[in-house]
Structure 1
């Protein structure tokens, strides 16, 4: 791991001391699973289940906070099985899907979520014409139920297509009172007012957290970073972790620790579990 400042190293040491009261929040894509061309193949890192189970024994709770639909994350992550293993430690695994619109836990094993936002169906009907207008008619449209994601990764010159598409989708989304969330070669359109920062605050409040670690990799994690920073200002021990890649660097300057992708995230979490166990021994 690479601490961005001496203060980051100090924050890690404080978090280790507060581990028993700490909630660990983790993004899915790019953090627990690699970024791949086909999101349906973004399976969780093979070591994640073991590492998360070991970590859960040392912290208050582990939570996955993702833009993916909860059921999709459960399947790709094998999270129901991970939840079973974490349950044996006496702890819970929490999952917030679609930026916090959906909730699941290893204790209450039912996905709870709202109806699709007003305007989304009309937006989706008008979307193909908007894509053609900016020369991105072959972009892949993913219907998430509560959101629509437009992927440019498979297009020729995906970055240029993304840049053309973003203002067009912002205009169309605004006409239907919807929110636009840019990511890595993907633009997601969903209802306004719900984001990962709210999920962080909910977990901190409901679990009476004394510390909070959040690891993410792209723009969709900015609100979570902001929420964790606010918790730190309120007196909690906090640590912000950037899972870096060649595609995205937006979080590097905001993070306390920078690691290389899912491998680096899991190495850090494994180290945290070991250091916390040593203090408690």
Structure 2
């Protein structure tokens, strides 16, 4: 489980990358996120050299493609659920009712999922603690999952996760090696998926992109850590 093993198989490797906090700094307003300098150039080069390069994100793919205009780059949005039927209106109504009592908490209807952002709340930790229980209860009533992230809780259809996406990409491409880089709780499941693939003989490398809010659980499972998006892009450039 090392970067060198993946690099030695680069032409037959699947490179899978998160976006927010991984290729782009975390920002207060998600629509203002931009990749760090050099990202587009580096990804364009990797598309030519690697077996496949995929952005795995909870965002809609259209946004990612607008900020990463790279021919041949694969983008899997909304944890692989993009294009699925929208959430029932009653779910959105109940989520809005939960958020309405919390100053600074924003609900974003993403169609196939619903994100509840707490970053702009006066105390994000307190807001998260207050809304978590009601959101889990809503999810249980409608057969959904609550996916945690940095200052966000997302309701999505059961079984949707970055781990599922990673396993599907590696199986579809027949990759002999796989690298995943991420910075958040949702990326832990991607790391776990790679560990299962390693048991089947796939060479893997799990990279934690460390920032102020990176969970220790992710860091503990990583084969390698880098200090933020700029350092990750420098590492990818050297592959």
**Cα distance, 1:247 vs structure 2:** 1.2
Instruction: Work out which of the residue numbers 218, 240, 258 in structure 1 matches 2:225.
Output: 258
**Cα distance, 1:137 vs structure 2:** 4.7
Residue 14 of structure 2 is matched in structure 1 by 23
SS of alignment partner, residue 70 of structure 2: helix
**Cα distance, 1:170 vs structure 2:** 0.6
Residue 278 of structure 1 is matched in structure 2 by none
Q: Is the 8 A contact 1:128 1:137 kept in 2?
A: no
Counterpart-to-counterpart distance in 2, 1:160 and 1:264: 32
Counterpart-to-counterpart distance in 2, 1:185 and 1:51: 29
Q: How many pairs align?
A: 238
Residue 214 of structure 1 is matched in structure 2 by 180
Q: Is the 8 A contact 2:99 2:106 kept in 1?
A: no
Counterpart-to-counterpart distance in 2, 1:252 and 1:38: 26
SS of alignment partner, residue 251 of structure 1: helix
- Unmatched runs of 5 consecutive residues or more in structure 1: 1-7, 84-91, 103-112, 273-281
Counterpart-to-counterpart distance in 2, 1:48 and 1:241: 17
Residue 97 of structure 1 is matched in structure 2 by 77
Q: Is the 8 A contact 2:99 2:107 kept in 1?
A: no
SS of alignment partner, residue 57 of structure 1: helix
TM-score by length of 2: 0.94
- Unmatched runs of 5 consecutive residues or more in structure 2: none
Residue 27 of structure 2 is matched in structure 1 by 36
Counterpart-to-counterpart distance in 2, 1:229 and 1:12: 14
Kindly report the root-mean-square deviation, in angstroms, between the aligned alpha carbons of the 2 structures. Answer: 1.5
Q: Is the 8 A contact 1:12 1:239 kept in 2?
A: yes
Q: 1:173-192 counterparts in 2 under 5 A? A: 173-192=139-158
Indicate yes or no: 2:52 matched with 1:61. yes
Indicate yes or no: 2:1 matched with 1:13. no
Indicate yes or no: 2:98 matched with 1:130. yes
SS of alignment partner, residue 82 of structure 1: coil
Residue 161 of structure 1 is matched in structure 2 by 127
Task: Rate the CA distance shift 1:137–1:127 in 2: closer, same or farther, 3 A.
Answer: farther
Counterpart-to-counterpart distance in 2, 1:129 and 1:55: 45
